[in-house]
Amino acid sequence: MSAPVVLVVEHEDGTGPAMVGERLVQAGLRLDLRRPWQGDPLPGSLDDHDGLLVLGGSMGPYDDERAPWLPQVRELLRQAVARDLPTLGICLGMELLTVACGGKVGHALRPEVGLVDLTPLQEGADDVLFGALGERPRAVQWHWEETENLPAGAVRLLTSERCAHQAYRLGNHIWGVQFHPEVLASDISHWGRADDTPVRALGLEPDDVVRKVDHDEPALRAVWGGMTDRWARVVASCVAPAD
């Protein structure tokens, strides 16, 4: 039996699947990484894929002129929802999922950057990905936009002090997360340099943000690596048996 194949959409340089990608490969999945910002074509359908992973990026979910492949990503997300194909949207990926399915994304009144405590919600107590996170898991945040209105039928799973919708589920196998489960300090160090001015405008020192993430790396690997392993099992369990 061949390995399940996950379509991975990367939106710009330096925003790859990182730890999530590593854990998926370790779990026996194969990644079909597409970089449309480099000219890689996106498939017209998900017929040849067993899962969909849509990553983050500095553009917003409505920035079609800046990133002309976004309409096709939104269409792939709608296809995934229609089929309940295992899907994980991270940061921009969640925002694209939101608008693709009729929700609304807007500018965050209080953007989140760096480590943030998350609060699991009762609705997510039995969720296959998030039901076993513990009371106050920490995650890396890096967003200036966020979901304002959830798509119809979405189940809220996680929240935070500044952002109401940190994670939600559509159907049984579609998840969006506003935070970045894939990154560690080495992944965000260049984000701090690129966003030096807006990060400092939040009263934060970019180098200090990176140091704190580095200090929490063991916990981040345990919590979000575990979540990734559970998503990998969902992908594998949904693969149709060969004829």
| Residues catalogued as catalytic | 91, 180, 182
Residue whose C-alpha is closest to residue 238's, from 172, 175, 188, 194: 172
3-state secondary structure 2-61: CCCEEEEECCCCCCCCHHHHHHHHHCCCEEEEECHHHCCCCCCCCCCCCEEEECCCCCCC
3-state secondary structure of 165: coil
Distance CA 4, CA 236 (A): 6
Distance CA 76, CA 53 (A): 11
Backbone φ and ψ of 119, nearest 5°: -115, 115
Give the Cα-Cα-Cα angle 71, 145, 165 (nearest 5 degrees): 100
Distance CA 196, CA 31 (A): 32
Distance CA 197, CA 193 (A): 9
